[in-house]
């Protein structure tokens, strides 16, 4: 049996560069799959069904929660967001790695479930830089930016929930680090399955 | 304060290619330090004092054990082997990573001490290949090779003592994997210290 794929959970404070990093990661590792979340919120301009999100009605979403179709889900403001189980399991069983972009709330849920994965937290180089990046976006007011910064600080304080931290000074270097993490984790003793059946058998049977 | 260096403990069954891998690793990462063990056995041809081993008398060795100068030591056949503490600590405190090439007995001692490090086990591609590599060396009789193979199998069965396994099909690929492991481990949340003091402070203080 081939080694199962690894779920790679990535979070970051808003403005730390998660989206850019994930896009660069997809380019550098075309085999990598990205989980597409379900949401009940309306698509923003440029957002595509099945790419950015699966956009569903509230009724569909709640029916899915009733039928345990989500690995985790949450209500944020007035909208529901969830990570569908089926796609994840299908992908991992094929031996393909899968990136899940989640917020802290999602990570807390997965940790509570003792969900086995590699948890990566992206840090900004500094709070000043984080503020500048949020300002540069130009999509929010000063108040909203200050609120995001406060939320960001609280998220950074929760980074003990993660296995790895990556400071995003430079996107290429951050992607290098995440690729190294994925490479290393494939060789973690607890999930490592050598190709040679004889050696695999000795590994699995343990000490005589 | 700079992040401390990481002790990287590498073991392998005899013939799996540990020495070749470590030599290639030293070339690829010139900043990496390698611990030089103490031994009471006589130097072999080509072995250099301070490079391959610190060759010491039995009296000196035992005096060092009495003064707790070793991280771990063992008597193998009629000779003593030990890993001196001072050099290791000095190197790590400077923020430099350090490779310790140890046998399973040494790793068991370190695990018993709960010694924090990254433990890597090198696997041969197959037992057949391991036997061929031992035979190709031409230094041992068929009986000795068979004994080494048996010891090797027992060592593979102990690989749960390690954090990572690397199958040495190709030296360059094995070195790539070890470099990825070192890179990833530098970003492990429990030892990660971001450059920005403000962010480091939030990380260290944890949730409010």
What CATH number does the domain containing A64 carry?
A: 3.30.63.10
Tell me, yes or no, whether A25 and A72 share the same domain: no
Tell me, yes or no, whether A82 and A103 share the same domain: no
A118: nearest CA partner in chain B? B188
Q: What is the pLDDT of residues B157-201, one digit of tens each?
A: 999 999 999 999 999 999 999 999 999 999 999 999 999 999 999
Contact B198 A167 (CB under 8 A): no
* Nearest to B15, CA basis, from B179, B147, B111, B176: B147
Is A148 within the bounds of a domain? yes
Contact A167 B127 (CB under 8 A): no
Structural domain range at position B175? 7-205
d(CA A154, CA B80): 53
Q: Which residues of A touch B187 (CB under 8 A)?
A: 164-166, 177, 181
Is A42 within the bounds of a domain? yes
* Nearest to B25, CA basis, from B95, B100, B107, B127: B100
Q: What is the value of ipTM here, to two decimals?
A: 0.91
Q: What are phi and psi of B79, to 5 degrees?
A: -115, 150
Is A46 within the bounds of a domain? yes
Is A206 within the bounds of a domain? no
Is A197 within the bounds of a domain? yes
Last residue of a domain, one of A72, A96, A120: A96
- Mean pLDDT to the nearest integer, A197-204: 93
Tell me, yes or no, whether A77 and A20 share the same domain: no
Q: Which residues of A touch B12 (CB under 8 A)?
A: none
Tell me, yes or no, whether A6 and A47 share the same domain: no
Q: Does B37 touch chain A (CB under 8 A)?
A: no
Tell me, yes or no, whether A181 and A111 share the same domain: yes
Q: What is the pLDDT of residues B111-165, one digit of tens each?
A: 999 999 999 999 999 999 999 999 988 888 889 999 999 999 999 999 999 999 9
Is B194 within the bounds of a domain? yes
Is B1 within the bounds of a domain? no
Q: What is the pLDDT of residues A96-152, one digit of tens each?
A: 999 999 989 899 999 999 999 999 999 999 999 999 999 988 888 889 999 999 999
B89 DSSP 8-state letter: H
Query: What domain count does chain A have?
Result: 2
Is A165 within the bounds of a domain? yes
d(CA A199, CA A205): 10
Q: What is the pLDDT of residues A2-28, one digit of tens each?
A: 689 999 999 999 999 999 999 999 999
CATH number reported for the structural domain that contains residue B169 in this entry: 3.40.50.300
Q: How is B123-168 classified by DSSP, letter by letter?
A: E-S-HHHHHHHHHHH--S-HHHHHHHHHHHHHHHTTGGGSSEEEE-
């Amino acid at each position: 049996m081939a080694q199962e794929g690894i779920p790679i959970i990535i979070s970051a404070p808003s403005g730390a560069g998660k989206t850019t990093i994930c896009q660069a990661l997809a380019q550098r590792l075309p085999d990598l799959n990205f989980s597409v979340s379900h949401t009940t919120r309306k698509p923003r301009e440029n957002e595509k069904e099945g790419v950015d999100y699966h956009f569903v009605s509230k009724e569909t979403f709640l029916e899915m929660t009733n039928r345990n179709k989500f690995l985790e889900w949450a209500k944020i403001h007035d909208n529901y967001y969830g990570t569908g189980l089926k796609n994840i399991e299908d992908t991992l069983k094929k031996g393909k790695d899968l990136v899940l972009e989640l917020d802290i709330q999602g990570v807390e849920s997965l940790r509570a479930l003792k969900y086995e994965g590699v948890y990566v937290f992206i840090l900004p180089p500094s709070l000043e830089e984080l503020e500048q990046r949020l300002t540069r976006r130009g999509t929010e007011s000063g108040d909203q930016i200050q609120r995001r910064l406060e939320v960001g600080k609280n998220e950074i304080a929760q980074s003990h929930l993660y296995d790895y931290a990556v400071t995003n000074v430079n996107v290429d270097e951050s992607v290098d680090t995440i690729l190294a993490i994925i490479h290393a984790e494939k060789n973690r003793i607890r999930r490592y399955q050598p190709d040679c059946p004889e050696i695999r058998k000795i590994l699995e049977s343990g000490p005589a």
